[in-house]
Amino acid sequence: MKNVGIGPARLTKLLQNPTPEQKGSLEPRDVQMSKKIVHVVGTGTIGEPLIGLLSAHKEEFGIDEVTFNKNSPREDDKPKLKQLIKRGALLTASPSKMKAFEELGLEIAYSSEEAVRQATVVIDCTPSGVGNENKKALYERYSDRVRGFIAQGSEFGFGKMYARGINDHVLDSENDQFIQVVSCNTHNISVLLKTIGSQGDEMCVEDGRFMCLRRANDISQNGSFIPAPQLGAHPDPTFGTHHARDAYHLFKTVGQELNLFSSAVKLSTQYMHSLHFAIRLNREITKEEVVERFLENSALP
């Protein structure tokens, strides 16, 4: 599964009481202002399990209500949506598609815009590029009301980059309203860099080279199957693929600018990613120390 977790502690902070500015923007008619509502946009590979997770652990996370938005009313998705509703999540949709959902026997709780407007936190799990479009078209309009917006790894430029265990300490719950959780492969690259290359608060990395061996598609997807390994291009002349680029910008949030380059190859499997890497340090390190660091880091499998 893709790594999209922002961590219970960070989510709890975002769910705390609104800032004075946000309180002032709320109208008396807003019954929801006292509720802690998490709204998930998208029900795909990331969105569906996330909605289920939040619904199952509302009490632990301090959540009063979980809502989710589905864009397309399809008969094939009906069992999945009914199961999410059964678990306590509330379905939302655009007004033009409400009737189609109702014809499928699915109850709509709010319109898409209303759901964003009343949310405490919005988590965007839409396909690549849609999150940034939603930010411009909708999220920025309600930035004085919603406490935080979170998007997945494909949405470069959405907000401050985040990876659990890498830059938690620089997140500012008052000012970092838009957060981009980096992709699973960028998480993997970053945790290797920090585990092997950190010395106190400093990074001792001269350079890092990474080959991401990626699954062709997820087990929830029918398309994108490939019969043989497929080499990816290097669209970025400095970093190669977006994985190293994103890791660079991630570490930049903690004051570190690293020399990184990544490549990617897709394999005909649905089950896992692997990572081949070469990290060069500006200090001596033994094999035993590397192994010990791996064993001590709970973020590594």
Question: In this structure, are residues 155 and 180 in contact, taking their beta carbons and an 8 Å threshold?
Answer: yes
**Three state DSSP letters for 3-61:** CCCCCHHHHHHHCCCCCHHHHHCCCCCCHHHHCCEEEEECCCCCHHHHHHHHHHCHHHH
Residues forming a β-bridge with 123:
40, 150
Domain 8-181 falls under CATH 3.40.50.720:
yes
Domain regions of the chain by residue span: 8-181, 185-296
- Report the 10 Å Cβ neighbour count for 198: 15
pLDDT (tens digit per residue) in 142-183? 999 999 999 999 999 999 999 999 999 999 988 999 999 999
φ, ψ for residue 264, nearest 5 deg? -145, 145
Identical fold, 8-181 and 185-296 = no
**Residue 80 in tokens:** 């999945």
Q: Residue 227 carries which DSSP code?
A: S
pLDDT at 299 over 90: no
Q: Which residue has the higher pLDDT, 145 or 223?
A: 145
pLDDT at 9 over 80: no
Domain 185-296 class in CATH: alpha beta
Position 13 scores a pLDDT of 58
Question: Among all chains, which residue has been given the structure tokens 């807003």?
Answer: 30
pLDDT (tens digit per residue) in 39-85? 999 998 899 999 999 999 999 999 999 999 999 999 999 999 999 99
